[in-house]
């Protein structure tokens, strides 16, 4: 597993990215979190291995557990797919983490929106082509309109295209949603730590209703932002909210 450890001291927090994401996408979320921080790439992403598939969320939970156990992490943050993998881990071992943050959690029931399916299919096809222009078109579609054609947008686009051309994405990622991420959602009620769930309105890939549902199951603190692309539109508030929760 490709990993990056930053910071010093305790506690240790592990950061799990979303589908087709990478370490650079989770680092801003931990920039103000105290202690050591371990960022990693799930199987099929970056320089991490891609064992033969198909894969399921039990496999991703094993990736997350392996990194967390090796690092001695007591806290965890999961984004989208990473949040679903974290939920799967918690259904198996509800006492594994003291605190968890679920940011834009993905649905756990095995069903994905048409928008999510189209996004992944387009991205996988563009990476398979190896053509920078095709990859750039797929990545640019994920940026909010206000960010496109700005220096920040161009910098992000260039970095993502370079990373995807260099490291690629495993085709097995398309097999993940063939079954529910967790065997029984009610098992999440066994979690005895503290949880923070962060969702937003207007995101068809990460419905706010799922954030609300998970917050209820986990007995978590809940924050619903008023529009999507939270990392672009509310970056400072998001960073402060996460660090305040994990540093308390």
Question: The domain spanning residue 238 has which CATH number?
Answer: 3.40.50.1820
Q: Are residues 196 and 237 in the same domain?
A: yes
Number of domain units in the chain: 2
Q: What is the mean pLDDT of residues 38-62?
A: 94
* Nearest-angstrom CA–CA distance, 44 and 225: 30
Q: Are residues 22 and 38 in the same domain?
A: yes
User: Higher model confidence: residue 118 or residue 16?
Assistant: 16
Q: Are residues 139 and 19 in the same domain?
A: no
Indicate the pTM of the whole model. Answer: 0.94
Q: Are residues 136 and 230 in the same domain?
A: no
Query: DSSP assignment, residue 44?
Result: T
**What per-residue string of b and e applies to 42-58 under the rule 16 or more CB within 10 Å gives b?**
bbbbbebebeebebbbb
Residue 210 maps to a domain: yes
Residue 173 maps to a domain: no
Q: What is the mean pLDDT of residues 139-149?
A: 88
Query: Is residue 220 pLDDT above 90, yes or no?
Result: yes
Q: What is the mean pLDDT of residues 21-44?
A: 95
Q: Are residues 217 and 101 in the same domain?
A: yes
Q: Are residues 8 and 94 in the same domain?
A: yes
Question: In the sheet that 194-200 helps form, which strands lie side by side, from edge to edge?
Answer: 3-6, 36-40, 12-16, 75-79, 99-103, 194-200, 221-225
> Which residue range forms the structural domain that includes residue 132?
114-167
Residue 102 maps to a domain: yes
Q: Are residues 100 and 27 in the same domain?
A: yes
Q: Are residues 104 and 146 in the same domain?
A: no
Q: How many CA atoms lie within 13 A of 96 on its CB side?
A: 25
Q: Are residues 221 and 144 in the same domain?
A: no
Q: Are residues 120 and 98 in the same domain?
A: no
User: What 3-state DSSP class applies to 148?
Assistant: coil
Taking only the tens place, the pLDDT of each residue in 86-118 is 999 999 999 999 999 999 999 999 888 888 889
* Nearest-angstrom CA–CA distance, 121 and 114: 11
């Amino acid at each position: 597993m490709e990993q990056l450890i930053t910071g010093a001291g305790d506690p240790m927090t592990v950061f799990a990215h979303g589908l087709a994401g990478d370490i650079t996408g989770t680092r801003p979320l931990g920039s103000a979190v105290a202690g050591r921080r371990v960022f990693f790439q799930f199987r099929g992403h970056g320089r991490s291995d891609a064992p033969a598939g198909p894969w399921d969320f039990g496999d991703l939970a094993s990736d997350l557990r392996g990194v967390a156990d090796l690092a001695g992490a007591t806290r965890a943050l999961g984004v989208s797919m990473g949040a679903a993998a974290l939920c799967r881990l918690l259904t198996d071992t509800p006492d594994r983490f003291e605190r968890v943050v679920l940011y834009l959690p993905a649905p756990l029931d095995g069903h994905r929106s048409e928008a999510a399916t189209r996004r992944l299919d387009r991205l996988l096809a563009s990476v398979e082509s190896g053509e920078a222009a095709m990859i750039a078109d797929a990545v640019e579609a994920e940026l909010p309109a206000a960010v496109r054609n700005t220096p920040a947008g161009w910098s992000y686009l260039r970095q993502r295209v370079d990373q995807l051309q260099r490291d690629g994405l495993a085709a097995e990622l398309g097999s993940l949603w063939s079954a529910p991420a967790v065997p029984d959602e009610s098992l999440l009620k066994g979690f005895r730590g503290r949880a923070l769930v962060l969702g937003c309105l207007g995101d068809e890939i990460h419905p706010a209703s799922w954030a609300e549902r998970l917050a209820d199951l986990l007995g978590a603190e809940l924050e619903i932002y008023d529009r999507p692309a939270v990392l672009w539109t509310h970056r400072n508030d998001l960073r402060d909210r996460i660090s305040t929760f994990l540093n308390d």
